[in-house]
């Protein structure tokens, strides 16, 4: 557990906020969820701000790791009933997070840390999709 909270505690907000803009560029189909923002370019303020919100949620989930389903109940309901994001996109965003972590911490993002973070993000995605049906 401690090996994967380490990269998160070193996050400085700014570089990890690049995860969402990166996802929109690498996986353009994800833009379909953001049609309400005219500007979806990488520097766009609402995109960056939203990226920070999402990463804040992920960081918050680290403290709930022992009961992700319970801890993420309201967020799951939000994603299931209001946002209705296809869960395949959780995998896509997770991959982008792993890529950015790998860029930010080339020495520390060892295979073991990668495994732990990947496992955590997969469980997080599962908890988030809990309320879908």
Partner 1 sequence: MVEWTDQERTLIANIFANLDYEDIGSKALARCLIVYPWTQRYFGGFGNLYNADAIMNNPMISAHGVKILHGLDRAVKNMDDIKNAYATLSELHSEKLHVDPDNFRLLSDCLSIVIASKMGYDFTPDLQAAWQKFLTVVVFALGRQYH
Binding site for partner 1 (CB under 8 A): 21-22, 25-26, 42, 95, 98-100, 102-106, 109-112, 114-115, 118
CB of 118 to partner 1, least distance (A): 6
CB of 75 to partner 1, least distance (A): 25
Which is nearest to 67 in space by CA: 54, 76, 80, 55? 76
The number of residues in the chain equals 133
SS3 70: helix
CB of 22 to partner 1, least distance (A): 4
SS3 86: coil
CB of 113 to partner 1, least distance (A): 10
79 vs 109 by CB, closer to partner 1 = 109
66 vs 107 by CB, closer to partner 1 = 107
CA distance 121 to 123: 5
70 vs 122 by CB, closer to partner 1 = 122
Under 8 Å CB-to-CB from 106, ≥6 apart: which residues?
none
CA distance 68 to 29: 28
77 vs 118 by CB, closer to partner 1 = 118
């Amino acid at each position: 557990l401690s090996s994967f909270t380490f990269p998160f505690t070193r996050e400085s907000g700014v570089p990890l906020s690049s995860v969402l803009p990166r996802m929109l560029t690498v996986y353009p189909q994800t833009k379909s969820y953001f049609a309400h923002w005219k500007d979806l370019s990488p520097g766009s303020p609402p995109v960056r701000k939203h990226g920070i919100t999402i990463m804040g949620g992920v960081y918050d989930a680290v403290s709930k790791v022992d009961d992700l389903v319970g801890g993420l109940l309201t967020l799951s309901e939000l994603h299931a009933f209001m946002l209705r994001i296809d869960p395949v996109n959780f995998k896509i965003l997770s991959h982008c997070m792993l890529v950015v972590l790998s860029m930010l911490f080339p020495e520390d993002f060892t295979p073991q840390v990668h495994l732990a973070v990947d496992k955590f993000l997969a469980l997080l995605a599962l908890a988030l999709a809990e309320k879908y049906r």
